[in-house]
Structure 1
């Protein structure tokens, strides 16, 4: 299939009350999205039931496989689906200058997931450049995602604002790639000043994603209120 461009940063796909397609099997499925577009869906073991969905975006130069290595097993332990897209270039379109093909790819992937899988809530997450992308997409699509999980983000540059998602932001105090003072700490303060609900976790560490942070963020999202 051909993936259209999405210049406004909006994700149009929405969960369906009764998906009509055959449910995705447990395990990992690479979705058919056309040339240069890729996303992998990870489904926990068990019967097909309504599940939470985490869309997780990798760091610059990464891939869907990196995202699943970071969050896939921990999300499965909580019964959550993970949709892991790969950026079509070295990093994500919004980070590189403006919304376009990556947003369209994610929207097309979501459409396939929602057509075959019952989803009861959605979060957008990511690491490094993927975290900046998740923040930007989450602010622009808070009427779809009830939460954003951002690990070591650099900035937020939403093309618009819709809904009021909650935010979990974690950043290492010794981050030499995206220094905490001008990145995670600043972004968290700006979102809080805008009236968003923000949980900020500043940890002793560098530009990395320890499993305990992922577990804490998943617990915060899945055990917390819906907005």
Structure 2
């Protein structure tokens, strides 16, 4: 991916009609993306038929391992692959000062996944700063990701608009890190005002992503969007 494309927040990779690489085995695989780039792919057991892919982005100071701990087992139980990159700096480039390296790494990771895996649909997701990043990239790449699952986001700052993704946003009423009024509620209202389909999920709790929340979000993405 070129530097200018990365700065635009656009992801070039798309699912392949024909596999060009050997499929990864069930379990967690560390993708070979070159020096300084890290991404983990969690593959559930089962056949290689087309399956959903969730790209899940950790919060500030986190890692790919943290992202998989949050969603990996619950996603695997539903036959969903999870791609979890680690940000190059302490948090994602958009939050840190401008789009660039993290977009390029994510695009390379997606290309590696698409080369070896049959993918039926793609969602972007994340927690805290990762949720803000997923929302922003989701608006800019709605022609790739049909849905964004955002847990306790702070903002949305999309560099462009492509496609019409659906949004699930969960936020705790007692969030002391990213308060719900100026963060989650404002983000949901902003997206609705822009004409997007938004499912808002408000819960009693703080700045957390819990198994119950992940279950609700995954079931909404994969099932009946009228519920949840």
On whether the aligned pair clears a TM of 0.5, the verdict is yes
Give the structure 1 partner of residue 56 of structure 2.
Answer: 56
Q: What residue in structure 1 maps to residue 159 of structure 2?
A: 159
What's 1:92 paired with?
92
Match of 2:70 in 1: 70
Partner Cα distance (2:154, 2:32) in 1: 31
The CA deviation at 1:18 is 2.0
TM-score, with structure 1 as normaliser? 0.96
Q: What is residue 209 of structure 2 aligned with on the other side? A: 209
**In 2, Cα distance between equivalents of 1:161 and 1:95:** 19
Q: Deviations over 1:58-107 (max 9, x none)?
A: 00000000000000000000000000000000000011121100000000
Cα deviation, 1:115-173, whole Å, max 9, x if unaligned, reads 11000100000000000000000000000000000000000011111000000000000
Deviation track 1:24-82 (CA, whole Å, cap 9, x = no partner) reads 10000000111111000000011211100000000000000000000000000000000
In the alignment, the residues of structure 2 paired with residue 93 and residue 51 of structure 1 have an alpha-carbon distance, to the nearest angstrom, of: 29
Native 8 Å contact 1:169 1:198 kept in 2: yes
Q: Which residue of 1 aligns with 2:149?
A: 149
Q: 8 Å contact 1:129–1:154 — kept in the other structure? A: yes
- The TM-score normalised by the length of structure 2 is 0.96
1:1-227 paired onto structure 2 within 5 Å: 5=3, 6-224=6-224
Separation in 2 of the partners of 1:20 and 1:64? 25
Shift of 1:4: 5.4
In structure 1, list runs of 5 or more residues that go unmatched: none
What is the alpha-carbon distance in structure 1 between the residues aligned to residue 8 and residue 145 of structure 2? Answer: 17
What RMSD over aligned residues (CA atoms) do the two structures have, in Å? Answer: 1.0
Q: Distance in 2 between matches of 1:127 and 1:211?
A: 13
* Contact 1:4–1:101 (Cα < 8 Å) also in 2: no
Cα separation, 2, equivalents of 1:32 and 1:151: 28
The 8 Å contact of residues 122 and 144 in structure 1, kept in 2 or not, is answered as: yes
Secondary structure (helix, strand or coil) at the match of 1:178 reads: coil
Bigger mean CA deviation after superposition, 17-26 or 113-122: 17-26
Query: How much has 1:20 moved relative to structure 2?
Result: 2.6
Segment drifting more, 34-43 vs 16-25: 16-25
Number of equivalent positions: 223
Runs of 4+ aligned residues of structure 1 deviating over 3 Å after TM superposition are none
Asked if the contact 1:170/1:202 (under 8 Å) is kept, the reply is yes
